[in-house]
Each structure stands twice: as C-alpha cells, then as structure tokens.
Structure 1
Amino acid sequence: MSEKKKFNIEYEIKSSPRILYGFLNEPNGLAQWFADDVNVRDQIYTFTWDGEEQKAKLLGLKEYKSVKFKWLDDEPQCFFEMEIIQDELTNDVALSVTDFAPEENIAERKLIWDNQIDYLISVLGA
C-alpha cells in the first residue's frame, strides 16, 4: 500500500457561505449529498453508504468557513477538509476540498468528489 498523498480541488458554488455551511457540518445537510445517512454523537460522525458505515471524527469547525474530519480507520496524518472561500471583490463562493489518497487513486478520488459536489450543487439549486 503506497503512502497517501494530499490533494486539493476547488469548485465554484453559487450559494451563500451561511447556507453552504449547513450542508457541510449538519447531519441532515450532509445526508442530502455526501452520504445516504449521517448521525453524529460526541464529535463522531457515522456516514452510511449502501448499508456500510464509516466513522469520522470532527477535528475542527470554523463557522461559515470550514469543516475538517478524520476517518477513524485512516492513517494518522490523513484528514479531509471542506473549506468555503469567498472572494472579497466579487463575492464569488468556492468550495475547496482537501483529501488524502494513494497516488494511484487520486484521479479516482477526485472523480468521486466531482460527483458528490455536482450532487451538492443540484441540492443547493445553485
């Protein structure tokens, strides 16, 4: 198994940071685009896809700015973060995603994010 590498992707999203943020950190918001079902207890989020559960610890929250998680079964240095970036001049909003994957899986992982974010954009009606 090769060492995981950090990668970053950015998506333009036509939404206010306040609305977008709810979809990044609230279980019912995340369940609308990220996973089939999401439960949270004591900073541990349980994400369910097709009946399979995966748990992530919430590492950090910045209101209307970012959410950072770590999969419990992942390597210590790995995390995934979703950060809302707003251009001060144009007010354009982007969602920046930082994640880790083995080098040979990065393209595939980016495609998964592309699909998830497309879904998020459709949920937002953006």
Structure 2
Amino acid sequence: MSKKQLYTLEYPVRCSPSILFEFLSTPAGLGEWFADKVDENKEHVFTFTWNDSSEKAQLVDMTENKSVRFHWVDAPKEEYFEFEIEKSEVTNQTILVIKDFAEKKEIKDQTQLWEYQIKDLFHRIGA
C-alpha cells in the first residue's frame, strides 16, 4: 500500500472549458505549461520531459471538456493525477480541479509546484 495520499486543488479560471481542455489533454497544450516537451504514442502514453529528465504517464480516462486522468507508469496502480473542469452553479465560473498524490510531508511543496505551473498555464491562456 502506498504512503501517498490524495489531495485536491481548485483554481478559478477565466476561459471556456473547451480552450482549457486543450491545454490539459493534448501534448501541444501540456507542453505549453506542464513540461518542457510532451509526446504521445499510439498507446496513449505521454512522455513528459523537463530539462534532461523524463517521465511517462498513461492516459487512463478522458471525458471531452470535463476531465483527463493520467497514471505515472512507475507509480502504484491506485495513484494518478487528474484535471477536472467544473462550472460553479452560483457564479457560472470555470473551475480547474487538480487531484494528485503525495506523501503527507510533501503536499505543501507539491502544492507550491502546482501553483507555479498553474500561473504559467493562466499566463498562456490569458486568464
């Protein structure tokens, strides 16, 4: 059993779900903000490259304009990272929900890393 636990982050976004979805689900979109380079093979395995290191993640679930779930190839089966796009019923605002796994003592650092990446995403989409 993994020592990592699921944590969730939410970010309001000023853009349409369809535009946001492109940045979350395609190699070109993810390469704009998530990694330096992103490639996808025929089995829907994405290779994310940062500087001289790379990690592979399997696309395990995708719902158009709603959610994308990846599983790191080297991680335990129950761990994943996911992007969900929700609409606030009160404000009608688009909300990006990120679900990821980390050890309890690393959640704060991982959250800061996500926040840095999300700032880059928002800059790219003009939000």
1:89 CA drift (Å): 4.3
Pairs within 5 Å for 1:1-126: 3-41=3-41, 42-126=43-127
Deviations 1:8-52 (Å, cap 9, x if unpaired)?
000011010000000001100000000000000111000000121
Distance 1:96 1:6 in 2: 13
Aligned length: 125
Q: Which secondary structure does the structure 2 equivalent of 1:74 belong to?
A: coil
Residues 33-87 of structure 1, C-alpha deviation per residue, up to 9 Å, x if partnerless?
Answer: 0000000011100000012110000010000000000000011210000000112
| TM-score of the superposed pair, with normalisation by structure 1 | 0.96
SS in 1 for 2:54: strand
Q: Counterpart of 1:114 in structure 2: which amino acid?
A: E
Q: CA deviation at 1:88?
A: 3.4
Percentage of matched positions with identical amino acids: 40
CA RMSD of aligned residues (A): 1.0
- What letter is aligned with 1:29? G
Structure 2 unaligned spans of 5+: none
Greater alpha carbon shift after TM alignment, 89-98 vs 99-108: 89-98
Detail structure 1 runs of 4+ shifted over 6 Å in the superposition. Answer: none
- Structure 1 unmatched ranges of 5 or more: none
CA distance in 1, matches of 2:36, 2:53: 10
Structure 1 letter corresponding to 2:17: P
